[in-house]
A and B are shown apart, each in its own frame.
Chain A
């Protein structure tokens, strides 16, 4: 990407780019979306910057910069993006960078006083600090957030919805990002962190992913009638429990839908999913316990953490065989336990001969005891056929 004939980047720029890479990997401090949409090095996006037009006006850079002096950082905010352009004075490292933004009205709304009070990194610019870029971005983002909240005063409807969300969901200002549209272009949007708690979830169901358990609802408004389009974002820890965000069907949004009611419905939907996952886990646990109760003296091994599987050894008329009972993610409501018989004597050819017993009666309303009794009957009904075919096949 880089022009091969241009001189190498200065070590200071290298350091800034490293910091940006670090933020890319480890999340953006203070933003609701910890995965950055895009962080770009200067040379890649310079063309993007120069050709972009905002509202028909040619965006004038403050100062002509060479590619190796600048960083363009695209930060996700409220379901949309804010691009921040930082232009460094590499020959005068004590000078803080010049800044410009994709939201041109933002820059004109900032006073010197605002910068002094709320973006202290600029006053105490120390380019050798390890996280100076992260600090600067964090402070700028907070300032941008304030600017957006002030804009809300011009939009009664949106202001009302913002306040209602805070009140109904009992969340703080740090849990919502809102982007109020300018005159005519770019729709308003907001991003709200739903107070979905995984507190009562058995740790074993989420421990595989140690990150945060975040659920974000993005809402983009269209027109003036209060019509909006929702989108759900879930962190991997939550998705591990209830499935991917794109597999969860959000309720439809007929015209006239109240935003607050809708958000509450989505939250209820997610809470229901969490409850269901936990219930499935408990049901599996009860099932395995019942198997152990009846067949504890024949147990070979069972999954003692997630209760997904139990393996038993049985003897029917001196014929010994293994039985695998496997509980899938849709057990019990939509899926019967999977029963596989496996040989101790015959390979076919590189693995022990095995057969899944697919024809079984099943009723998800049965108690664990009834399910286990049924499994015993199914096995007894199929053993002799299994024995015959294992001999034939080997």
Chain B
């Protein structure tokens, strides 16, 4: 994009409201995950060349259109925190040897997420849901991050349940929010958008829609509702179901605009992912197109 064009029309081109983006299909998330698992901690998360090429050859190009103007309207973010602690749950180990429980790290990372998101725009609001037996709407929308942080501090982990019913979660969310209705969503900027960030922490329990996907489908088809997933898990092995769970979570991205991120006990990477999740859903690139590296000779 190094052509020189007339300044204002060039600016408008960049900023125009509807963008067509080539996307290589949601399974690319799976490819990068797989290669990373073999590369263990510390890797930057890019798939190895051969696997990426394979994905390119086997997957069809899917075109994804934005259906909403790229406006930074206020976000109403629903943080869904999984508090189930499974047997054999391992802690995060930092470089200096100190250990922290998984829930503690989530709280730390979310604290920074909330503070940073608030610093970006004070209009953004946050709600807190805790995921255990059934989801609990712990704190209603507020634009004061301190309120959510203080609720987070009080959360304790709990014994893992045998199942995780996503239908209940999306039922609860649907009850608590009212999606904006715009007569012409492709042009009219919405008053706000809703984004659910699901922080799932189990390695043994497959999340399922035990009561059907009706409500979920209804939410996800709205151009003003977004779902992101951050999957925090044990190191994948034969004894756990990390891969299968990740498959299911990737499958939740029906629109192609979700971010589905995963991390295994790497504190830095956890915080980096929370950084990615700061991005406004109407303005951010697709996950496939993310390029954060800043360097002279990249």
Contacts and interface: CB of A to CB of B under 8 A. Distances in A.
Contacts of A368: 7
B10 interface: yes
A68 to B, nearest CB: 50
A301 B115 contact: no
Interface stretch (B158-166, B241-249, B290-298): B290-298
A356 to B, nearest CB: 13
A288 B283 CA distance: 13
A209 to B, nearest CB: 19
B261 to A, nearest CB: 13
B115 A351 contact: yes
Interface string A292-303: 110011111111
A311 interface: yes
B271 A351 contact: no
A314 B292 contact: yes
Interface centre among A298, A302, A351 (most CB of B within 10 A): A298
Interface centre among B7, B44, B280 (most CB of A within 10 A): B7
Nearest to B282: A304
A297 B290 contact: yes
Contacts of A314: 292-294
B8 interface: yes
A344 B279 contact: no
B116 interface: yes
A352 B115 contact: yes
Contact of B121 (A282, A301, A351): A301
A379 interface: yes
Contacts of B15: 285, 288-289, 292, 304
A290 B120 CA distance: 20
B115 A345 contact: no
A316 interface: yes
A188 interface: no
A344 B117 CA distance: 11
Contacts of B13: 289
A271 B70 CA distance: 32
Nearest to A287: B11
A303 B12 CA distance: 14
B214 interface: no
B283 A347 contact: no
B188 to A, nearest CB: 14
A351 to B, nearest CB: 6
Contacts of A352: 112, 115-116, 119
B285 interface: yes
Contact of A300 (B111, B112, B279, B296): B279
A296 B271 contact: no
A368 B4 CA distance: 11
Interface string A122-142: 000000000000000000000
A225 interface: no
Given A285-B11, A316-B295, A345 B271 contact: yes
Contacts of B120: 300-301, 311, 324
Contacts of B72: 301-305
Contacts of A305: 71-72
A286 B292 contact: no
Contacts of A303: 72
B81 interface: no
A342 interface: yes
A296 B16 CA distance: 13
B276 A313 contact: yes
Contact of A344 (B8, B272, B284): B272
27 contacts: A282-B8, A285-B11, A288-B11, A289-B10, A289-B14, A289-B15, A290-B11, A296-B14, A296-B285, A297-B290, A300-B284, A301-B120, A301-B121, A301-B278, A301-B283, A304-B69, A305-B71, A311-B120, A313-B276, A313-B292, A314-B292, A315-B292, A318-B268, A320-B272, A344-B112, A350-B115, A351-B119
Closest 7 CB pairs of A and B: A289-B11, A297-B291, A315-B292, A289-B14, A301-B280, A314-B294, A344-B275
Given A299-B285, A315-B293, A322-B116, 16 more contacts: A282-B11, A285-B15, A292-B14, A296-B14, A299-B283, A304-B72, A313-B276, A313-B279, A315-B44, A315-B272, A315-B292, A316-B294, A320-B275, A345-B268, A352-B112, A376-B294
